[in-house]
Amino acid sequence: MEEPARTDAAHSGDCRELAGRHPALRSDGLYVYAKRRHPNDIGKTFYVCTGHGNVRVLPGQDGGDTLFPGAFAARDNWLAYAVSQQEPAASTAPSYLYELKATTGTRVVTQVFAWPDENVQASVEVLEIVVAPNRSIAWLARLTGHNAYAVERIGADGTRSTLASGQSFDRHSLTASPHGTTVSWIQNGQEASAPLA
């Protein structure tokens, strides 16, 4: 279900200026950056800016209280990212995936659990995400404290699949081909790949 993200017109202006010197992501005129939104927020809120001042608040956050966006990736104004839910009283910290069209705010992936088994009782960390031109996404997830990894994919049609799972993944190896048609990773010292787009 596609759902638009909110705009924040009060912060409109030049994207490079709004994002500051150290944006969380800069990709072909798209900027993701964090700023304090309200004086009583514990932390910062993440925004995406495209064009000249087209600013949107990223969905899935709470001002830095318990929900923390990260692992940002973009291609052709499609933005994907993970949100880690870190409740102080909880023994686990799950992560969820989001994807939206940055220019319109249309959400195509909303709060999808990052691990293949939704019943797992462990913390899940999203290490890297890649985006295809057709808006398919793939990500490398890890069970924190375990040597267990999974490469997951959501296609442009919304279909989810597990591309690989197991142990001994290079945690920084997930990449998309230059045209975004395949995704590759390294497991047990060997490169593997699968269709992405």
- Which domains are assigned to the chain? 3-195 (2.40.128)
Burial zone of 49 (CB within 10 Å; 0-12 exposed, 13-18 middle, 19+ buried): buried
C-alpha R_g of the chain: 17
Q: Which amino acid is at 4?
A: P
Tens digit of pLDDT for each residue in 8-25? Answer: 433 456 899 999 999 999
Confidence of residue 58 (pLDDT cuts 50, 70, 90): very high
**What is the structure's pLDDT at 43?**
85
Q: Are 3 and 110 in contact (CB under 8 A)?
A: yes
Q: Are 53 and 63 in contact (CB under 8 A)?
A: no
